[in-house]
């Protein structure tokens, strides 16, 4: 099943938060993304229903293998695209915002070409 952009953003946020603090709760996602608790609750339930996350008895969110795969892919795209834009002279904040939009629509082919270029010619 193909996730919508919003689902990818939630998974990426859960991934980043889990790297920072080791556990993730819905309230953490809400605060991190700046979304309302009801919106996050609906999204979390959809991600759980579709097998991207699991929740334990303490309501800690954990990515499943398929959720982690999507999250790592989106996070990698975000970091690489941000680095590319900053390298082109775009201010960090603008680069990060633009990368956030681009990461969901760029093809695998184009993204891999950018990664190769940065590895070969990047700083």
The pLDDT of residue 4 is 86
CB-side neighbour CA atoms (13 Å) of 9: 18
What does the block give as tokens for 52? 């991207």
CB-side neighbour CA atoms (13 Å) of 31: 6
State the fold for domain 70-121.
Answer: Diphtheria Toxin Repressor; domain 2 (1.10.60)
pLDDT in tens, 82-119: 999 999 999 999 999 999 999 989 999 999 999 998 88
pLDDT in tens, 67-81: 999 999 999 999 999
Look at the alpha carbons of 58, 22, 97, 77 in this order and tell me if their dihedral is positive or negative: negative
Which residues on adjacent β-strands are paired with residue 54? 62
Domain ranges of the chain: 5-68, 70-121
Question: Mean pLDDT across the stretch 24-45?
Answer: 95
pLDDT in tens, 78-89: 999 999 999 999
Helix, strand, coil share of the chain (percent; to 5) = 70, 5, 25
CATH numeric code, 5-68: 1.10.10.10
More confidently predicted of 121 and 93: 93
């Amino acid at each position: 099943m193909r996730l919508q952009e919003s689902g990818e953003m939630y998974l990426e946020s859960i991934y980043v938060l889990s790297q920072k603090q080791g556990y993730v709760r819905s309230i953490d996602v809400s605060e991190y993304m700046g979304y309302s608790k009801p919106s996050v609750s609906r999204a979390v339930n959809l991600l759980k229903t579709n097998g991207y996350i699991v929740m334990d008895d303490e309501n800690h969110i954990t990515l499943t293998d398929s959720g982690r795969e999507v999250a790592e892919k989106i996070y990698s795209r975000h970091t690489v695209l941000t680095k590319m834009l900053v390298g082109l002279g775009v201010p960090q904040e603008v680069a990060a915002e633009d990368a956030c939009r681009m990461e969901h629509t760029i093809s695998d082919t184009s993204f891999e070409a950018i990664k190769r270029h940065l590895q070969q010619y990047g700083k």
